[in-house]
Every structure is written in structure tokens, then in C-alpha cells.
């Protein structure tokens, strides 16, 4: 993890319980960078991180949530406003950030959501478009760790799944690798170009006049 985090100053890691570790950062920038870069994985297992105070007991630290960047795919072009996106994200967890879509023609909308990892991953949602028709949109998660294809919960495999009944397990998996998305690359260059277009779009766009 120290190598992955590219620390400027050393960090001390101590095991204080079963699958429970304490991280002592010596520079606030290192800590902020690590927290902002979540989610982090160790050998495909999700590393849950949370701030602690001096009077916190180790066994009382709450480690149930992690932020994820979620791709919202197959949205109708006239349903890509931030209002629509916020409504979709609200069903996934607490919305942290919406990536702007200045032209409204990106392949997907991208949101950062603080999710409860004890709940099954959402695979899709139904939304009502502006013509009152119900359409299905797909969801994908960046840097998605090890999760169960039977119940959709992060942290265990199908073999170790105790969430579903034996009858439900016989039906086979309903989740799969299709939920994984690669992290966005080259986004900042694209953002700068779109800002330039957006600033001058009144001069760039020529629409057909009405008769």
C-alpha cells in the first residue's frame, strides 16, 4: 500500500485486530491524498478507511462505507441533467461529486458516491424519460474489488456466500464482471477543451432559424 500511495513521508502500519489496522501518517498531505484516492484494494480486497479520534476504541471504529466512481450508462440524451443524475445516485448512496457533461453527449454520466459495502451492488435502474416512458440504465463501478456473483456484496466469493438460501444459490449467479469499469483516463485534457468550447459556444453554434 505504501508503494501504491507514493508517500512523501513514511507511514506506520500496525495490526490492532482481526483484519483491522491503524495507519499513522506523518504529513497531512499524504493522508488527504490517500483518503481522496479511495477506493483502495489490497490483493483485490477492499481496504476500508476512516478517520479516528484519540478517544475512539479500536473495536468501535465504523468501517462500512467507501466512495466509488460510478458510471451511469445508456441514459437518454434528454435525461442527462444533473437533476436526473442526482436522483439516480441517491439510490446508490450519498452523492459526493458529479462529473460535468458540458455538451451532454458523453458516453455516460459519472458520479462519486459513498456506498454501504454491506449492501448488494446495483446493476441497473429504471428511469422515466421526458415522454413518460420507462427505460433501463446500466451501472458500472471503477476500481471494483472482489465481490460475490451470487448476492452482489463486496468481500466474499460465491463459495463462501451465506446471504442467499440454498434454493437461490441453485439458480446461479446474477452478478458478473460486467459491473467493472476501468478508471477514467485523460479526463482533465478533455475537461479543459470542453471549457473552452462552452465559453464560446454562442459564437460556435449556428442553429437553423424558424420560419
CA-CA distance, 142 to 146, in Å (whole number)? 12
Q: What cell numbers appear for 151 in the block?
A: 448476492
Q: What cell numbers appear for 167 in the block?
A: 434454493
CA-CA distance, 149 to 152, in Å (whole number)? 5
pLDDT, tens only, 111-168 = 999 999 999 999 999 988 888 889 899 999 999 999 999 999 999 988 888 887 777 7
Q: Where residue 197 falls among pLDDT bands split at 50, 70, 90? A: low
3-state secondary structure the chain: CHHHHCCCCCEEEEEEECCEEEEEECCHHHHHHHHHCCCEEECCEEECCCCCCCCCCHHHCCCCEEEEEEEEECCCHHHCCHHHHHHHHHCCCEEEEECCCCCCCCCEEEEEEEEECCCCCCCEEEEECCCCCEEEEEEEEECCCCECCCCCCECCCCCCCCCCCHHHHHCCCCCCHHHEECCCCCHHHHHHHHHHHHHCHHHHCCCCCCC
Q: Where residue 207 falls among pLDDT bands split at 50, 70, 90? A: low
pLDDT, tens only, 59-109 = 888 899 999 999 999 888 888 889 889 999 999 999 999 998 877 778 889
* Contact present, 63 and 50 (Cβ < 8 Å): yes
Kindly tell me the burial class for residue 114, based on how many C-beta atoms sit within 10 Å of its own C-beta (0-12, 13-18, 19 or more): middle
Confidence check: pLDDT of 186 > 60: no
Distance of CA 191 to the CA centre of its chain: 20
Amino acid at each position: 500500500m505504501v508503494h501504491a500511495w507514493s508517500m512523501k513521508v513514511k507511514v506506520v502500519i500496525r495490526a490492532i485486530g482481526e483484519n483491522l489496522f491503524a495507519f499513522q501518517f506523518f504529513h497531512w498531505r499524504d493522508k488527504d491524498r490517500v483518503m481522496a484516492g479511495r477506493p483502495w484494494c489490497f490483493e483485490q480486497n477492499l481496504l476500508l478507511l476512516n478517520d479516528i479520534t484519540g478517544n475512539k476504541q479500536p473495536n468501535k471504529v465504523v468501517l462500512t462505507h467507501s466512495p466509488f466512481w460510478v458510471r451511469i450508462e445508456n441514459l437518454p440524451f434528454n435525461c442527462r441533467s444533473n437533476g436526473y443524475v442526482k436522483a439516480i445516485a441517491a439510490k446508490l448512496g450519498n452523492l459526493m461529486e458529479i462529473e460535468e457533461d458540458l455538451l451532454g453527449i458523453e458516453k455516460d454520466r459519472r458520479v462519486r458516491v459513498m456506498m454501504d459495502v454491506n449492501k448488494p451492488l446495483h446493476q441497473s435502474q429504471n428511469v422515466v424519460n421526458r415522454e413518460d416512458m420507462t427505460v433501463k440504465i446500466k451501472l458500472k463501478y471503477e476500481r471494483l474489488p472482489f465481490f460475490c456473483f451470487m448476492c452482489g456484496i463486496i468481500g466474499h466469493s460465491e463459495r463462501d456466500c451465506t446471504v442467499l438460501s440454498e434454493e437461490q444459490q441453485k439458480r446461479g449467479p446474477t452478478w458478473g464482471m460486467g459491473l467493472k469499469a476501468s478508471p477514467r483516463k485523460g479526463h482533465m485534457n478533455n475537461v479543459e477543451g470542453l471549457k473552452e468550447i462552452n465559453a464560446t459556444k454562442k459564437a460556435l453554434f449556428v442553429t437553423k432559424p424558424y420560419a
